[in-house]
């Protein structure tokens, strides 16, 4: 169970670098006080995750990770700029013993995950050549044959959310224009 041997090759070194990027991005995200700094460190975490996907030869997932989350990052930034106050830095009331409880919790979580991973035997998939060759093709085949019903359900869900968002936005728009137009009507009366 405690076989801690570590193979030093290009893969593992790259993995270590990416892991440091991901974790430090996440830690900085929690510790920064300005919202823009938080969002930038979150972006580093996402890009690091994309790097891990590339290491696992899942190029499609890696590019989609960057495409979707980088877009989300810029939108997050805009919301961060528009909807928060920049002048005040948040000051939370300090709870005593918080750090100790957090440390104990972290340690317990680490031990649980560590033992779970160490005691699981991972089945090695039969080698069918390099994965990166056409994993996009294989993904497409899987989605449109074996998993077509969940895929369609998901797209229906997204469409519903999209239409719902438009309806909500339209509704607010109408209310606002009423509010804006009402004083002028009173003046006219």
Partner 1 sequence: MTELLQQALTWQNGLIFLGWAIVFLFIVLGFVTYAIYFERKVIGWMQFRHGPTRVGPLGLLQSVADVLKLLIKEDTIPQKADRTLFILAPIITFVPAFAVLAVIPYTPSLYFADLNVGLLYYAALSSLSTIGIILGGWASNNKYSLMGGMRSAAQMISYEIPLVISVVGVVMLSGGLSLNTIVEGQGNNFWEWNLLPQMIGFVVFMIAAVSELNRTPFDLPEAESELVAGYHVEYSGFRFAFFMLAEYVYVFAIASLTTVLFLGGWHPPLAILDFIPGLLWFMLKFVFVVFFLFWLRATMPRIRVDQLMSFGWKVLLPLALINIFVTAAYIELFLK
Query: In the complex, which residues of this chain contact partner 1 (CB under 8 A)?
Result: 10, 34, 36-37, 40, 43, 47, 59-60, 63-64, 66-67, 70-71, 73-75, 77-78, 81, 132-136
SS (H, E, C) 161-174: HHHHHHHHHHHHHH
Q: For partner 1, give the closer residue by CB, 87 or 187.
A: 87
- What is the rounded CA–CA span in Å between residue 153 and residue 165? 18
Instruction: Kindly state the smallest distance separating residue 32's Cβ from partner 1, in Å.
Output: 11
Q: How far is the CB of 99 from partner 1 (least distance, A)?
A: 27
Shorter beta-carbon distance to partner 1: residue 108 or 168: 168
Q: Pick the closer one to partner 1 by CB: 134 or 173.
A: 134
Three-state SS string across 116-171, please?
HHHHCCCCCCCCCCCCCCCHHHHHHHHHHCCCHHHHHHHHHHHHHHHHHHHHHHHH
- Closest CB to partner 1 among residues 26, 54: 54
């Amino acid at each position: 169970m405690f076989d801690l041997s570590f193979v030093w090759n290009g893969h593992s070194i790259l993995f270590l670098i990416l892991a440091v990027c991901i974790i430090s991005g996440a830690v900085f995200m929690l510790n920064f006080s300005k919202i823009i700094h938080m969002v930038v460190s979150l972006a580093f975490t996402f890009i690091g995750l994309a790097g891990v996907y590339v290491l696992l030869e899942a190029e499609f997932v890696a590019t989609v990770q960057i495409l979707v989350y980088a877009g989300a990052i810029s939108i997050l930034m805009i919301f961060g700029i528009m909807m928060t106050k920049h002048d005040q830095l948040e000051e939370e009331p300090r709870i005593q013993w918080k750090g100790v409880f957090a440390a104990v919790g972290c340690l317990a979580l680490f031990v649980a995950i560590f033992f779970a991973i160490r005691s699981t035997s991972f089945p090695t998939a039969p080698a069918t050549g390099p994965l990166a060759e056409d994993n996009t093709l294989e993904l497409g085949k899987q989605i449109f044959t074996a998993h077509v019903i969940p895929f369609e359900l998901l797209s229906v869900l997204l469409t519903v959310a999209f239409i719902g968002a438009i309806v909500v936005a339209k509704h607010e728009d109408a209310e606002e224009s009423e509010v804006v137009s009402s004083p002028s009507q009173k003046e006219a009366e």
